[in-house]
Chain A
């Protein structure tokens, strides 16, 4: 739709409205003028007849035609003719050259005026208003005898425009034009110009300057609405300027925080390497080893603290509703302890954290904020109890029903008396802040037991110390998290990371397995994309960082682009990002938190004693299994068939991971083939094909399934 300027719009509308009013006025004027003209014409004719009759009659009595013609000549005018028809039917008129009327009258053979008073008649194609007056002698003199008739023919036009109307029209047009000119000026100066000034000012204004005072003074006399718009805009601009200033400050802070977070993130990799190395530096003296270990711990704490603060700042963007997500407990404890170390860096207390091998990668459903608050409170209590050392242990307690994670906080502080312990056990809060124990512990117990379905035990002896055990139910490992890195000999390990230290960490980890592995190192995504390994191979595993310096492409995008989801693992400190977790889960990629690169269990899978077959087929229908076996035998394909998931589970570790597995979608008794395929994928089988009687389009996208085919044997 075409857009107009206000000025053009106002002018056009004004002209249009003016024209319509002018037109309507003229039409109304013409309409009333017409009737008025007719009435006036009739009145004029009536008067003329009356006067002329009085003048004509005396002359007619004495047959003074000369005088009568003179009178008729005087009475007649343009478009108006008077004539007298005597009783002898002699037509007397001033100009006999006008034959129309004389002929018309002669044909009528008039005796009186009957039917001719104010009549519209067409004579020779011209409309006339005909009027007739009977001429009678003076009663006292001529005895009221009929002398003849006086006829008038007045040209009749439907639209009779008098000069007055014409002048009125001209005057109206002039007034209209003057009004347009004047109103245009007024509208321009009082409305359009202020608006244009305001528009120009708004266009030219930036956050750094204000509206021009001079210009604003010009539009000070503008209509109220314009002034209000100006004021509103001024206020909006002020707010924007304030907000902009705040944003600038925030951005500055954020940049600093991002920088710090980046530093913390980047520093983690070398710290991991350093941490790993300090375990093996037996050749150094104990004192130096301690110094190095303390230094590494200190660096790690700084990094953790920075990241913790960064997380808090970004908490707005993270879903708080996800507070009961499965949380990596070891990660939470590590971060918390780092925070406490910083908090109590001038306090003579030693923080230790011990995690057994099984505790890696253990998750539990907790509210992170509350979890940190509880643990923080417990640690604070230990500090207040003048503890010189505080140790946090994390272990896994296997249970037939449900495995649990045990967090033990042990200090050597003043401990708690039995009475207080009893009160705590029965849920009575102690308000004493002298010893630092009380209501906090009770609330912690309530949260752990009620909200998280866990347990909390407090053991304490006065002057000996306190031990608090927190048992949390183990949560199922999230799909994005890699619990165990399976690896077989002769694999090619492709490491893509911009940090050389991570390359070294992985190599150190694999070196301990004492197997022959081939390492390929890349330091940016582009290098991998241009290499021969960009196409992926079952004999390769890819350990890929998420963020790269000097590259816009992330590791996730790299895996997606190269379709390496079945072979790749993202090694990143961004594992806490919910968005990343969802994205990798959809793509079937696993994440290895970078801090655990040194800790993730690596299991060696021996391939030499593994059974090799061309394919495995799992289907609960015996007829189909027989058909597949028959076809396989016919085609010389080695095929193992299983009738159930359970049957295959018993034997699956005996197959090489690159074995091609065909699995039916509906396996009976509610077992869904897609779900078991996911299990197999997570286990390490990467070549899984779903067989189904349904159309492949009826299934949603599943990255762990290579293909979807029919029930017919593919070979």
Chain B
């Protein structure tokens, strides 16, 4: 009897060790405080995109300088307006079933129906026809050179059509989506999301940090760190390798035109004009620059001569002074996206506003899904937010001014929306860029938003014992962690 007890004890110990070893082997990745949503409808922040990237597959994948086939096996233009897409028969969902044309069509339709931003792709598409189980034909309205580039961005995941039908009835199912990527969600909680590989790769643990920052000691608990580190001297982090990827992000302050305070354009312009960005910029350090244009530097449509702030200043000076600080207004409400404003910089943002008008109320927004619409409805006066890019096109920064859930301005400018849509129908990038300028000028004239800072390069710290091939090809939120292996070398 004792013998069997011993054996059972040893087996338990081994299994425990295996479990511990298994846990130890997982890749631990920090995430900023955010309401992670794996539902592609609405708006996804970069944290949600990173997690979704691991779970979902797409027809194509953006590889930075080029794109690669993911669930698709081939794509062929049979005419300037017709593409034949073949789906790879080996592309499988997590339950082992193959990805079919119907799944792709259902997924695209779901995104089209539920997302109000990044709709340019659907503007280009006339219709999608299923040819057979693995073949489909896309018919475009007009020739769209950017079509495949946009389709390969992170916004067009594929889900099993039956899952979409079920998820339509039960939104909670989006916590465990049935995608066709290399990972599936094994655990979804507010502060941690655990993924397990379908066939190969290391397990992943995404750990959300409510403070949006960690200490040096805490950093060593993670394998990949994307947060600010308290007490860090310079850029170096012992035991980690810094990878700076090109990931232009711009930070803005937007105003709610529906707020009583900002009914007058004059007040908006004078408020924005009176903000001193320099102090904020100095806090960010050399990694950021003061934004000069509505779209960040090194993004299609950017102009060095835009001088967005100067235009607002000029407007503020041209119009008669209006007391936006008048006592008749409700207390100043300030909102911000937690995913955009890191904790250590939050005070700087607030100070910048406080120096102009005292902030009476702070309203953080964790869920970015319909942040524009929600912000407008909340009646809050101003919002800090950041926008990133997938394929470095100005459209990605202008789409929030369309009539959609992301529009925080409260202005429904149909002409502007049309202009934005029209820009996506232009084949020539230069023409598109020029149209972007017109759109930006129109936005600037409304004094409804002002770019603050631009961060071109985004740094992530990867532990030295990790081998992450191709990590520099794309922005980190588009990187597939299934490629990461752990080196046995110490």
- A residues at B contact (CB < 8 Å): 58-59, 61-67, 69-70, 72-74, 86, 88, 90-99, 102
Contact = CB atoms under 8 A, between A and B. Distances in A.
B208 to A, nearest CB: 25
Contact of B66 (A59, A65, A73, A90): A73
Interface in B420-475: 429-430, 433, 456-457, 468-473
B300 A63 contact: yes
9 nearest A-B pairs in the assembled complex, by CB-CB distance = A97-B472, A73-B65, A96-B472, A63-B302, A94-B65, A62-B433, A69-B65, A65-B392, A66-B392
6 contacts: A64-B429, A66-B393, A69-B246, A86-B298, A95-B64, A96-B245
A99 B464 CA distance: 14
Contacts of A73: 64-66
Nearest to B468: A97
Given A59-B429, A62-B433, A95 B472 contact: yes
Contacts, number: 88
Contacts of A69: 64-65, 246
A58 B246 CA distance: 20
Contacts of B244: 96, 99, 102
B243 interface: yes
A304 to B, nearest CB: 118
Contacts of B469: 97
Given A65-B300, A88-B297, A72 B65 contact: yes
A70 B66 contact: yes
Contacts of B472: 93, 95-99
A99 B245 CA distance: 10
A103 B209 CA distance: 29
Interface of B: 64-66, 149, 241-246, 248, 289, 297-302, 391-393, 429-430, 433, 456-457, 468-473
B248 to A, nearest CB: 8
A66 B243 contact: no
A97 B243 contact: yes
B398 to A, nearest CB: 14
Contacts of A96: 243-246, 471-473
A109 to B, nearest CB: 11
B149 A63 contact: no
Given A66-B392, A95-B470, A96-B243, A90 B300 contact: no
A70 B469 CA distance: 19
A66 B301 contact: no
A90 B456 contact: yes
Nearest to A64: B300
Nearest to B300: A64
A145 to B, nearest CB: 9
Contacts of B245: 96
Nearest to B391: A66
A66 B470 contact: no
- In this complex, the member of A61, A86, A93, A97 whose beta carbon has the largest number of chain B beta carbons within 10 angstroms is A97
A61 B428 CA distance: 14
B302 to A, nearest CB: 4
Contacts of B468: 97
Nearest to A106: B244
Nearest to A94: B65
A97 B470 contact: yes
Contact of B471 (A61, A65, A66, A97): A97
A101 to B, nearest CB: 11
Nearest to A63: B302
Nearest to B458: A96
Contact of A62 (B66, B242, B301, B471): B301
Given A66-B392, A70-B66, A72-B65, A92 B300 contact: no
B429 A62 contact: yes
B302 A70 contact: no
Contacts of A98: 472
Nearest to A88: B297
A103 to B, nearest CB: 9
Contacts of B299: 63, 65
B431 to A, nearest CB: 10
A77 B162 CA distance: 44
A95 B297 contact: no
Contacts of A58: 430
Contacts of A62: 300-302, 429-430, 433
Contacts of B392: 63-66
Contacts of B391: 66
B7 to A, nearest CB: 49
Contacts of B473: 94-97
Contacts of B302: 62-63
A96 B63 CA distance: 12
B65 A90 contact: no
A93 B244 CA distance: 11
Nearest to B474: A96
A98 B241 CA distance: 12
Contacts of B298: 63, 65, 86, 88, 90, 92
Contact of A66 (B241, B300, B430, B456): B300
Contacts of B242: 99
Contacts of A97: 243, 468-473
